[in-house]
Amino acid sequence: MQAAFRPDQVQVHGRYSDYTRISDEGDSKEHAFHFCPECGSQVFYTEPEEPDLIVVSVGSFADPSFPPPTESGYEWRRHEWLPIPETTERDPVRALWDPVQPLYRAGAYAEAADRGREVLEANDPHPYLLFNLACCESLAGRTADALDHLERAIEMWGGCREMAREDSDFDPIRGEPRFQELMSQDAAQADTRTVTEATLERTEHGLVPKGAGWFVVNAREAPWWHSETFGSSCVFEGDAHFAEVGVNIQVLAPGEPNCMYHGESAQEDFLVLSGECLLLVEGEERPLRQWDFVHCPPWTEHVFVGAGDGPCAILMIGARHEHEELLYPVVEVARKHDAGVAKETSSGREAYAPFPEPTAGPYRDGTLPSLPD
């Protein structure tokens, strides 16, 4: 169990030994583990590519009252006898695979593949689901199905290729020419050089891109999320999520916040497309109007609140990385605008627990401003 901190929250004293390796998650990211030179216990680790992150082993704290974990990772390696506390915010995609895990661990690979296919068909495609299903199918002797699903997983996230190269679950199909082609360096290089157009599929909520290619879609034809509390937002992602940058358009009525006042470990940037709003940033209020741009480095505390006499549309862009952290502080200026938590937390689930879930749906006429003819 580990606890992540910002560098300004940690002071390191004394001697330690280092061991550096590349992540086994397929992202080829370097991890530096720091050990006690006397007993060999890991004390903390860092990532050269993430200078704002220091992760400390919770066992290093001689404090039984240390807060319980709030996030869970590497769940596919969890032993069944190890429970996940109710306080833990789980990755919803990984939780979908829970019914399949007992079958996989028992060696019932055909049954696991059947159950995994049901999970995949009942949910949006995701590289994690596709990769795990391919593992089960490979072990079950369903070579063609395993190769099909592995190829789709790699198309959605190239890191699946590196994972498949090392995963023994694919040993039964490792000699297949198609598997070797998927694993080849030429295929990896082609992934970065050639980008095909994604097909737009019409759904009840709007046009959704299928696959990881480039695409063009009008915001009025894309799917939207509508909230009773936090306005409406246009999402452009399909079954292939944007790996590096999140993008959406959010529309706020006067008095509506776009979310709860927070800071996070990733950069975010915003552009007011139309209307007026109030920026609450680092405990201050700043009025904004059309074409105002806002830059928020990591850990800038902020929220937007609709203002004026009509809706405000904001383009929102945020970096994404593996170890995203959030903090929802108690700040009076945010509480004044019904945009702040009553108790500080780092859990999004806790911060948004009092509010109803947003609903998916198509664009609603009049949400975005009309352009002059």
User: Where would I find the H helices in the chain?
Assistant: 92-96, 101-105, 109-122, 127-139, 143-156, 159-166, 177-183, 185-193, 332-336, 348-351
10 vs 13, 262, 347, CA distance in Å? 10, 21, 21
Per-residue pLDDT, 114: 97
pLDDT tens digits for 94-133? 888 989 989 999 999 999 999 999 999 988 888 889 999 9
pLDDT tens digits for 230-263? 999 999 988 777 878 999 999 999 999 999 999 9
Nearest-CA neighbor of 144 among 178, 113, 120? 178
Question: CA 5 to CA 240: how far, in whole Å?
Answer: 30
The Cα angle at residue 325 between residues 45 and 348, in degrees rounded to 5: 140
Nearest-CA neighbor of 120 among 148, 139, 141, 142? 148
Residue 19 phi, psi (nearest 5) = -140, 125
Question: CA 71 to CA 2: how far, in whole Å?
Answer: 10
Rounded to the nearest angstrom, the gap between the alpha carbon of residue 229 and the centroid of all alpha carbons in its chain is 23
Average pLDDT, the chain: 87
Judge contact between 317 and 268, C-beta under 8 A. yes
The Cα angle at residue 316 between residues 324 and 87, in degrees rounded to 5: 35
Judge contact between 324 and 265, C-beta under 8 A. yes
Token digits of residue 362 = 């198509």
> Domains of the chain (ranges plus CATH)?
2-66 (no CATH), 93-193 (1.25.40.10), 199-361 (2.60.120.10)
Per-residue pLDDT, 313: 97
Per-residue pLDDT, 26: 45
Question: CA 88 to CA 3: how far, in whole Å?
Answer: 13
Nearest-CA neighbor of 252 among 338, 330, 318? 338
Question: CA 56 to CA 360: how far, in whole Å?
Answer: 39
Q: Is the pLDDT of residue 358 over 90?
A: yes
Question: CA 167 to CA 267: how far, in whole Å?
Answer: 34
Element (H, E) at 52: strand 50-57
Provide, rounded to the nearest whole percent, the portion of the chain with pLDDT above 90: 56
Q: Is the pLDDT of residue 218 over 90?
A: yes
Nearest-CA neighbor of 258 among 321, 195, 322, 305? 305
pLDDT tens digits for 307-316? 999 999 999 9
Which residues lie across from 345 on neighbouring strands? 328
Q: Is 248 helix (H, G, I), strand (E, B) or coil?
A: strand
Q: Where are the beta strands (DSSP E) in 193-300?
A: 199-203, 206-210, 224-226, 232-235, 245-252, 263-264, 268-274, 276-281, 284-288, 293-296
Nearest-CA neighbor of 200 among 219, 185, 216, 186? 216
The arithmetic mean of pLDDT across residues 185-191, rounded, is 58
